[in-house]
Amino acid sequence: MTADYVIIGSGSAGSAMAYRLGQAGKRVVVIEQGGTDAGPFIQMPAALSYPMNMGIYDWGFQSEPEPYLGGRRLATPRGKVIGGSSSINGMVYVRGHARDYDTWEEMGAQGWSFADVLPYFKRMETWHGDEGDAEWRGTDGPLHITRGPRKNPLFNAFIKAGQQAGYPTTADYNGAAQEGFGAMEATIWKGRRWSAANAYLRPALKQGNVQLVRAFARKIVIENGRAVGVEVSRGDKVEVIRAGAEVIVAASSINSPKLLMLSGIGPAAHLSEMGIPLVADRPGVGQNLQDHLEIYMQYQSAKPVTLYKYWNLWGKGIIGAQWLFTKTGLGASNQFEACAFIRTREGIDYPDIEYHFLPIAVRYDGKAAAGGHGFQVHVGPMRSKSRGAVTLRSADPADAPRILFNYMSHPDDWDEFRRCIRLTREVFGQPAMQPYVKSEIQPGLAAQTDAELDAFLQEHVESAYHPCGTCRMGRADDPMAVVDPECRVIGVEGLRVADSSIFPQVTNGNLNGPSIMTGEKAADHILGRKLPKSNLEPVMNPNWRTSQR
């Protein structure tokens, strides 16, 4: 079997590339280990806590014991299904802040400034927002972006409380101004999860020149310094799928560096330790691992307005039935319908905290609801200075890699998290929230001093599941860069990486949007074309030097 392009991974970036390359008349094979995304667990937005905990849809990765979190191992879900992680994520859509991309360019990702990437965000979107600046948004892309109905009074109470605390509101955090409180956007369309599989892969497969192969990618086949195909296993058979033009790795920030290392591309000493013959010594492969951590600040509700009343088999059954037959009701929302992006202190020029508000107090994995009516906000710093690594456990492709995030290894992380807690308490203490706040469940008002907050944090911070950075993009002469700004692997011909692993630094907010944009832009690099730069300028807080809000 031969194609022009062989893409490893049908996730956010892989599906977008398959669609655009197929549109341009190229023959494309997409390799995906996971199976179908059919069924309510994936397609029903409110069921989001299920697929990321189901072995059939998730690779089931875990971090190594994290030294700064008392040796806790944290779950690291990655999608093993058509659509990849876009089929098991929380469906929150955030482009990131303009400054994120300008920083990428400063870090050596030439041509990835905000002016360069905004046209790709616009190309990929069909935006259904109720307010905001249409000039900033796309109107006819494959990815539908919607907002929840915000019928629950808690959503608007949260936004109002932010205003009362002195923060701005934003009509569209994906538009001109990210900073402020406002409505959250989601990749949900007509009541269904609008994953990369629904938006890109299915239309690509219908074009006729894009083919999906269900197989496990073992390594990239490299002959005379050039990638010529992918070695895969299907059932008990090992075979090679050959690429006439290029192999493109889009297997996630965990599996992409693993595949490069298994193929002889990575830190020479580590590969030699694993007994893998060296093809290209790229010390940056697997390094620079970043993520967002968050805590769930939970409150008991003084009024029975939360989703807790549906937290039983009967309630879930009614929501499920309504969704199955009409694709409407509570089942058609991910329940993240209000949010905020704020700065922790003066002197920071753009937001470094994200809030997701949820009208029930429950763990992200759906395992435990706090007793009775409650609500919560997920909050955490956006730009941790901690860095970890993905390394091989062995030379066996079937072995999961070692993942060590080194969470909270930088002292600034602790300070930023304490600020998150104290600023959040202030927001929930505003008059708009007064009728609803009965008491603070966690951390609980007993935790006040730095030491008490740190003890809570060590025990309770959770990953927001935004790993990235392990095949960092940079200048071709940067020894720690893995790919150049065209997404080409430095030192190997005919091989690219395009997914969240190439991000030089984690973006502000959730990573699905930036990952799809990366696939869209990489497809243009492969085809030798590019969209003209945008001249839109983001709105920044004019007083950022002197005030926190």
How far is it, in rounded angstroms, from Cα 269 to Cα 278? 9
- 335: alpha, beta or left, given left = phi > 0 and alpha = psi -120 to 50? left
The 10s digit of each residue's pLDDT in 186-209 is 999 999 999 999 999 999 999 999
Mean pLDDT of 23-47: 96
Longest dimension (CA), the chain: 70
Does the pLDDT value for residue 382 go beyond 80? yes
Going by C-alpha positions, the residue among 530, 509, 506, 501 that lies closest to residue 84 is 501
Q: Annotation-wise, does 89 bind a ligand?
A: yes
How far is it, in rounded angstroms, from Cα 332 to Cα 323? 7
Does the pLDDT value for residue 368 go beyond 80? no
Question: E strands of 302-352, at which residues?
Answer: 338-342
Q: Taking the CA of residue 213 as centre, how many other CA atoms within 13 Å lie in the half-sphere pointing to its CB?
A: 25
Q: Across the chain, what does the average pLDDT equal?
A: 97
Mean pLDDT of 528-542: 97
**Binning pLDDT at 50, 70 and 90, where does residue 237 land?**
very high
Secondary structure class of 249 (helix, strand, coil): strand
How far is it, in rounded angstroms, from Cα 154 to Cα 136? 29
Is the separation of the CB atoms in 145 and 128 below 8 Å? Answer: yes
Looking at residue 363, what is its pLDDT? 78
Q: Annotation-wise, does 30 bind a ligand?
A: no
Mean pLDDT of 266-274: 98
Q: Annotation-wise, does 379 bind a ligand?
A: no
Pairing of strands 216-223, 226-234: antiparallel
What one-character DSSP code corresponds to residue 404? Answer: E
How far is it, in rounded angstroms, from Cα 203 to Cα 385? 40
Mean pLDDT of 140-158: 97
Is the separation of the CB atoms in 356 and 184 below 8 Å? Answer: yes
**Binning pLDDT at 50, 70 and 90, where does residue 130 land?**
confident
**Binning pLDDT at 50, 70 and 90, where does residue 1 land?**
low
Going along the chain from its start, the domains and CATH numbers come out as: 1-61+77-144+186-284+468-530 (3.50.50.60), 149-183+293-381+408-460 (3.30.410.40)
Does the pLDDT value for residue 7 go beyond 80? yes
How far is it, in rounded angstroms, from Cα 409 to Cα 386? 6
- Which helix (H) or strand (E) segment is 228 a member of? strand 226-234
pTM higher than the cut 0.85: yes
- 494: alpha, beta or left, given left = phi > 0 and alpha = psi -120 to 50? left
Angle at alpha carbon of residue 511, lines to 246 and 51, rounded to 5°: 95
Residue 410 bears catalytic tag: no
Going by C-alpha positions, the residue among 95, 100, 12, 14 that lies closest to residue 504 is 100
Q: Annotation-wise, does 247 bind a ligand?
A: no
Catalytic residue among 144, 292, 466, 525: 466
Residue 180 neighbours by CB under 8 Å, 6+ apart = 162, 167, 168, 169, 170, 173, 340, 341, 342
Q: Is the dihedral of CA 146, 86, 81, 498 positive or negative?
A: positive
Burial 522-544 (b: 16+ CB within 10 A, else e): bbbbbeeeeeeebebebebbeeb
The 10s digit of each residue's pLDDT in 88-119 is 999 999 999 999 999 999 999 999 999 999 99
Neighbours of 179 (CB within 10 A): 25
Paired strand residues for 163? none
**Binning pLDDT at 50, 70 and 90, where does residue 486 land?**
very high
Q: Annotation-wise, does 117 bind a ligand?
A: no
Question: E strands of 48-88, at which residues?
Answer: 61-62, 75-76
How far is it, in rounded angstroms, from Cα 513 to Cα 91? 10
The 10s digit of each residue's pLDDT in 417-463 is 999 999 999 999 999 999 999 999 999 999 999 999 999 999 999 99
Looking at residue 367, what is its pLDDT? 72
**Binning pLDDT at 50, 70 and 90, where does residue 169 land?**
very high
